[in-house]
Amino acid sequence: DIVMTQSPDSLAVSLGERATINCKSSQSVLYTSNNKNNLAWYQQKPGQPPKLLIYWASARGSGVPDRFSGSGSGTDFTLTISSLQAEDVAVYYCQQYFSIPLTFGGGTKVEIK
């Protein structure tokens, strides 16, 4: 099984400042046939279902603001919120869809400092 490890578990960032969340997979999730990383990021606000933010490690989901960006390849990935807004308070999860079983990171809680 591919283990997804997120860090930190939580972080507090001032409004307008940058938030950075890391995700490390225990094996590479890079498909060499198409050179795409099978890695997604989701945002879950309290009392709501998750929402897709980023897929293929760096492609933004439909309607996702451009302050959210994803980067990385192979086993190391980052989600960056360039200028934190109040509505970005949520838990963020990474997920690999490279192999079964599909696995999620433990989540990172983002709060306002």
Binding residues vs another protein (CB under 8 A): 38, 40, 42, 44, 49-52, 55-56, 61-62, 93, 95, 97-98, 100-107
Q: Minimum CB separation from another protein for residue 97, in Å?
A: 5
Q: Minimum CB separation from another protein for residue 90, in Å?
A: 13
Q: Minimum CB separation from another protein for residue 16, in Å?
A: 28
* Residue closer to another protein, measured from CB, 75 or 103: 103
**Rg of the chain (C-alpha set):** 13
Strands 108-112 and 10-13: parallel
* Residue closer to another protein, measured from CB, 88 or 105: 105
Q: Say whether 102 sits in a helix, a strand or coil.
A: coil
Q: Residues with Cβ < 8 Å from 79, sequence gap 6 or more?
A: 20, 21, 23, 41, 53, 54, 68, 69, 70, 92, 94
